[in-house]
Amino acid sequence: GFEDVNTLVDVGGGTGTIISLVTSKYPHIKGINFDLPSVLAHDPLYSGVEHVSGDMFTEVPKGDAIFMKWILHDWNDEDCVKILKNCWKSL
């Protein structure tokens, strides 16, 4: 569960819909929806969710836990290693 998580980062979170579902069930969690600026340009506002723009190949925002859905399958092994290393550094 998410009981011990205070900050959850959704890497490649798109519009933030998934992380908003988590924060609505666990309101103590600060959700960070992390994606490219062009993706976040028209994202709706959700209670408990902050939209943060950036590049997962460079850096991932700090958090207690990382969430990724439909991300790694799009990249080759070398790129996946970069993404996962940046996620590890952010924890």
| Residue 64 tokens, joined | 């207690």
Q: Output phi, psi for 9, to 5 deg.
A: -105, 120
Exactly one of 28, 42, 51, 73 is catalytic; name it: 73
Q: For residues 3 and 86, what is the distance between their CA atoms, to the nearest angstrom?
A: 24
Active-site annotation holds for 73: yes
How many Å separate Cα 60 from the centre of its chain? 8
Which residues have a catalytic role annotated?
73
